[in-house]
Amino acid sequence: MTQSELPVLTKKDFESDQDVRWCPGCGDYSILAQTQKTMPDFGVAKEKIVFISGIGCSGRLPYYMNTYGFHTIHGRAATIATGLKAARPDLMVWVITGDGDALSIGGNHLIHAMRRNVDMKMIMFNNRIYGLTKGQASPTSPIGKKTKSTPLGTIETPIIPLNLVAAAEASFIARSVDTHSEHLQEMMHRAGEHSGAAFLEVLQNCNIFNDGAWRDFTDKSVKEDRMLVLKHGEPMIFGAEKNKGIRLNGLQPEVVTIGEDGITVADLWVHDETDPDATRTQILSRMWWPDFPVPVGVFRRVPRPTHDQLLIAQIDGAKAARAAKGPVDLQKLLASGETWTVE
Q: CB within 8 A of 212, min separation 6: which ones?
A: 205
Q: Is 337 in the site for other proteins (CB under 8 A)?
A: yes
Nearer to other proteins, 4 or 336 (CB): 336
Looking at 3, 25, 47, 144, which residue binds other proteins (CB under 8 A)? 47
The alpha carbon of residue 325 and the mean position of all alpha carbons in its chain are separated, in whole angstroms, by 44
Looking at 26, 33, 91, 165, which residue binds other proteins (CB under 8 A)? 91
Phi, psi of 184 (to 5 degrees): -60, -45
Selection from 216, 227, 109, 107 nearest residue 159 by Cα: 107
How far is the C-alpha of 310 from the C-alpha of 302, rounded, in Å? 16
Q: Which stretch binds other proteins (CB under 8 A): 22-30, 86-94, 239-247, 272-280?
A: 86-94
Q: CB within 8 A of 283, min separation 6: which ones?
A: 248, 251, 253
Nearer to other proteins, 66 or 154 (CB): 66
Site string for other proteins, 280-319 (x = CB under 8 A): -------------------------------x--xx-xxx
DSSP run (H or E) holding 295? strand 294-301
Looking at 46, 231, 247, 286, which residue binds other proteins (CB under 8 A)? 46
Q: Is 70 in the site for other proteins (CB under 8 A)?
A: yes
CA dihedral sign of residues 320, 326, 332, 338: negative
Q: Is 11 in the site for other proteins (CB under 8 A)?
A: no
Task: List interacting residues with other proteins (CB under 8 A).
Answer: 1, 16, 18, 45-48, 50, 52-53, 55, 62-63, 65-73, 76, 78-88, 90-91, 108-109, 111-112, 311, 314-315, 317-319, 321-322, 328, 330-331, 333-343
